């Protein structure tokens, strides 16, 4: 099977510090793939580089077989590689609806945008109820839903998420992960970066373990879940 996203030897440096040291990844179409790792492993750096938001110092990125290594961020979004903003970076003074509409800024198809908005409101009823309210008044979980909704408005073919569980209560995390599973069942491919290794491996079909900028393990998520080294380092033994 050819990967939807294929990453070869990706390297990213901040000044002379190499945060990502030449990693290979393959993200299959229709699947949920996860990249897990501890604090400072280089997970966010990897996503930002894939999205074209920070420069790469080496390597190649193929999306649907096409080389997107050097494309600017907005072109990468237009291709369908869309990242959910980290830390739920919603624009707090804008309304919920305005935040969602921003996700579709590069699209010209007004009817399609309206349909997608309706679909997102159906998926997240709380966002519909609060559509005209300021996004800043949403709870943490609702803001994460809004960030996902906004990314969906760009019609992603692959959704990239950076620790969507961060700072949320366990029940809300369950909600978010259920939403991701539902989106995946509808055919959306997902690349999920997480520090919450247990939940991420439970959701994903394949996993990569990142340690100080290197991929140290990759396997089916179910195999990683029972791998002694993974259990010892990330799952409390
Ligand atoms: N803007 C920056 N300038 C310099 N170094 C940075 C910068 N951003 C991150 N780093 C360093 O790069 C390394 C990888 O950081 P990164 O944020 O990618 O890790 P992470 O896996 O996302 O961690 P976390 O789980 O805490 O979000 C760390 O050593 C970090 O200190
Ligand atoms: Mg991070």
Domain range list for the chain = 3-91+156-234
The pLDDT assigned to 90 comes to 65
Q: How far is the CA of 132 from the centre of ligand 2 (A)?
A: 31
The band of 89, judged by pLDDT with boundaries at 50, 70 and 90, is low
What is the pTM (predicted TM-score) of this model?
Answer: 0.95
The HSE-up count of residue 168 (CA atoms within 13 Å, CB side) is 23
Q: Which residues contact residue 118 at a Cβ distance below 8 angstroms, ignoring those fewer than 6 apart?
A: none
Cβ(14) to ligand 1 under 6 A? Answer: yes
Residues pairing with 95 in the sheet:
134
pLDDT digits (tens, 9 = 90+) for 26-57: 999 999 999 999 999 999 999 999 999 999 99
Please determine, for residue 132, whether its predicted confidence score (pLDDT) is greater than 90: yes
User: Which class is 3-91+156-234 in CATH?
Assistant: alpha beta
> What is the number of the ligand 1 atom nearest to the C-alpha of 41?
21
């Amino acid at each position: 099977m050819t990967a939807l996203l294929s990453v070869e030897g990706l390297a990213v440096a901040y000044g002379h510090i190499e945060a990502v040291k030449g990693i290979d990844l393959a993200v299959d179409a229709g699947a949920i793939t996860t990249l897990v790792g501890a604090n400072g492993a280089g997970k966010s750096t990897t996503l930002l580089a894939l999205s074209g938001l920070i420069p790469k110092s080496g390597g190649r990125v193929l999306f649907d077989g096409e080389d997107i290594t050097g494309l600017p961020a907005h072109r990468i979004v237009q291709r369908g590689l869309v990242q959910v903003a980290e830390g739920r970076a919603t624009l707090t003074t804008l309304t919920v609806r305005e935040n969602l509409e921003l996700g579709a800024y590069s699209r010209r198809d007004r009817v399609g945008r309206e349909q997608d908005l309706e679909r997102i409101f159906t998926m997240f009823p709380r966002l519909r109820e609060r559509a005209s309210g300021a996004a800043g008044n949403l709870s943490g979980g609702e803001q994460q839903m809004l960030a996902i909704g906004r990314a969906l408005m760009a019609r992603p073919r692959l959704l990239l998420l950076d620790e969507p569980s961060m700072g949320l209560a366990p029940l809300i995390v369950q909600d978010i992960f259920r939403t991701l599973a539902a989106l995946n069942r509808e055919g959306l491919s997902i690349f999920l970066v997480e520090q919450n290794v247990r939940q991420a491996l439970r959701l994903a079909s394949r996993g990569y373990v990142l340690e100080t900028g290197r991929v140290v393990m990759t396997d089916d998520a179910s195999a990683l879940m029972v791998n002694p080294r993974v259990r010892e380092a990330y799952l409390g033994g």
